[in-house]
Structure 1
Amino acid sequence: MEAERTDAVVWRNRALTLFDRVSVPVAVCDVYGRVVLANPAMAAECGTTPGRLRGREMLELFRPQEADQVERIAEALRLRHRSRYQVSVCWRAPGGAERYGELTADPVSDSVEETPALLVMLRVRGECPAPRPEAGPVRVSAVEGRVLALLAGGATTARAARELGLSRDGVTYHLRRLSARWGAAGRTELVARAYACGVLVPGVWPPEARAAEAE
């Protein structure tokens, strides 16, 4: 029995060493998304150290771009489903630029009955550099600004349409125009560019657009 405990400690220490040395940002969270353990790569994305991440909410550090994604994952975890879950997120890098990517969460536990922890990996897709000060913020129409603010707050197309009194096709039309104008590949990049270009006000929740030009 003593030998088994010794072996368990040895393998745990080896696993922690490997965890710390992995270059991919990785964290272990409880079922509520609070950080239990983070490696240096994950901490670096947040501009801090692994110890200071402990107890922080993962979805406060990395802003989800689709509210229904998070709701679906929460429901699946309540039902003890053991699938791989992915959430599109954006966040402010230590240098000030907005980055975007995906968080992938895998439930892990010693038994099926046990409440799982979440092994979370961050995949960085890209970065939008901050605009040059002399250029000033990029201007968008009032409706475009409101669409972007709702999107940054996690609104779905249907919710944005209700809030703005538009059809879903109307919201999609504005998103397509903005994506074409900025060369954005998807909604995550669109929101990241809106923050990077000064269209959305940083540090404000719920998200808010700057004063926009009239249509």
Structure 2
Amino acid sequence: MRDTHDCGPVPADRPDPAVFWRNRALQLLDHMPLPIALCDFGGRILIVNRAMAAEFGRLPGQLRDRRILEFFTLLDSGTLEAVTEAIRLHRRSQYPARVSWTPAGGRERYGRMTVALVGDVPQRPPSLLLSLHATELPDEAERAEVSPVEARILAAAARGDTTAQIAREIGVTPDGVNYHLARLSRRWRVPNRTALVARAYATGVLAPNTWPPQPALPV
């Protein structure tokens, strides 16, 4: 006799195993005080626990399907490259990354994000399990995150140079100048070049009492 036990639709009283285990995972994560998110390999948020959502004054479902980098700024430029290479080589490991973000209270915070590559099938791209550890970094650490090229761009912007003038001086394309300025704006949460220059002086990136403006450290 043909076995039809597994044929046909799942009975209404039998829960979907995927839904069941997803709900169990959410229950476990929600009891953890550490902010945690699970993303696909492209950075799309699949699951966040309440602690992570609370950082931004939201419910977990309001962050689902958003990009994790909409909420965090990477301070380690090599993290994305390292994770991308690990995915290509089918590695399963952990990678620390320094990040900044603006929580619901509105005051910028800093911390360390641990990125763990998880997955059971080597041939498939892994998921990214992210855990957030908040710290407070002094201005010196923030200044150290500005590259020599960015410091020169900020100095040129402080002189009032245009994007084209900065590009010729630094030896990059105008798009490259705009990329660095946009990257700094996201990191420092400022809206324009004037605010960028002010922040650069406040954090010691640019030398005080000097004209024309110069980086504080040799580049």
The alignment's TM-score, normalised by the length of structure 2, stands at: 0.59
Distance 1:11 1:55 in 2: 19
1:214 to 2:209 alignment: yes
Amino acid of the residue matched to residue 214 of structure 1? N
Give CA deviations for 1:94-128 in whole Å, capped at 9, x if unaligned.
11212110111111112111211111111111388
Superposition RMSD on alpha carbons, in Å? 3.7
Shift of 1:41: 0.5
Q: Give 1:12 shift.
A: 4.4
In structure 2, the partner of 1:204 is 191
Q: How does 1:1-215 map to 2 (within 5 A)?
A: 8=17, 11-126=21-136, 148=143, 151=145, 155=146, 157-160=147-150, 163=153, 202-204=189-191, 208-210=196-198, 212=201, 214-215=209-210
Q: Taking structure 1 as reference, are residues 158 and 70 closer, same or farther at Cα in structure 2, changes over 3 Å only?
A: farther
Q: Secondary structure at the match of 2:34?
A: coil
- Give SS of 2:100's match: strand
Inter-partner Cα distance in structure 2 for 1:214 and 1:44: 43
How has the CA–CA distance of structure 1 residues 113 and 201 changed in structure 2, closer, same or farther, with 3 Å as cutoff?
closer
Distance change (3 Å), C-alpha of 1:77 and 1:97: same
Q: Which is higher, the Rg of structure 1 or of structure 2?
A: 2
Distance 1:158 1:72 in 2: 22
Asked if structure 1 preserves the Cα contact closer than 8 Å seen for 2:154 and 2:197, the reply is no
- Report % sequence identity: 37
The alpha carbon displacement at 1:89 in A equals 0.4
Change (3 A) 1:201 1:74: closer
Partner in structure 2 of residue 176 of structure 1: none
CA change 1:127–1:72 in 2 (3 A) is closer
* Residue 164 to residue 106, structure 1, CA distance change in 2 (3 Å): same
Q: What letter is aligned with 1:94?
A: A
Distance 1:92 1:127, change over 3 A: farther
CA distance in 2, matches of 1:127, 1:112: 37
Residues 205, 36 of structure 1: CA spacing in aligned structure 2 closer, same or farther, 3 A cutoff?
farther
Q: Output the TM-score relative to the length of structure 1.
A: 0.60
**Which runs of 5 or more residues in structure 2 are unaligned?**
7-13, 156-184, 202-207, 211-219
3-state SS of 1:51 partner:
helix
Q: CA deviation at 1:158?
A: 4.8
Shift in CA distance, 205/37, structure 1 to aligned 2, threshold 3 Å: farther
Alpha-carbon distance change, 201 to 16 in structure 1, aligned in 2, over 3 angstroms: closer
* Contact map agreement 1:97 1:127 (CA 8 A) in 2: no
TM superposition shift of 1:159: 3.7
Partner letter of residue 89 of structure 1?
A: V
Paired with 1:7 and 1:35, the residues of 2 have a C-alpha distance of 22
How many residue pairs are counted as aligned between the two chains?
160
**3-state secondary structure, aligned to 2:28:** helix
The superposition leaves residues 137-170 of structure 1 with CA deviations (integer Å, 9 ceiling, x where unpaired) of: xxx9xxx9xx94x94xxx5x454466479xxxxx
- Please give the secondary structure, in 1, of the residue aligned with 2:86: helix
Unaligned runs of 5+ in 1: 129-139, 166-194
Aligned twin of 1:181: none
Higher relative contact order (CA 8 A, sep 6+): 1
One-letter amino acid of the counterpart of residue 106, structure 2: G
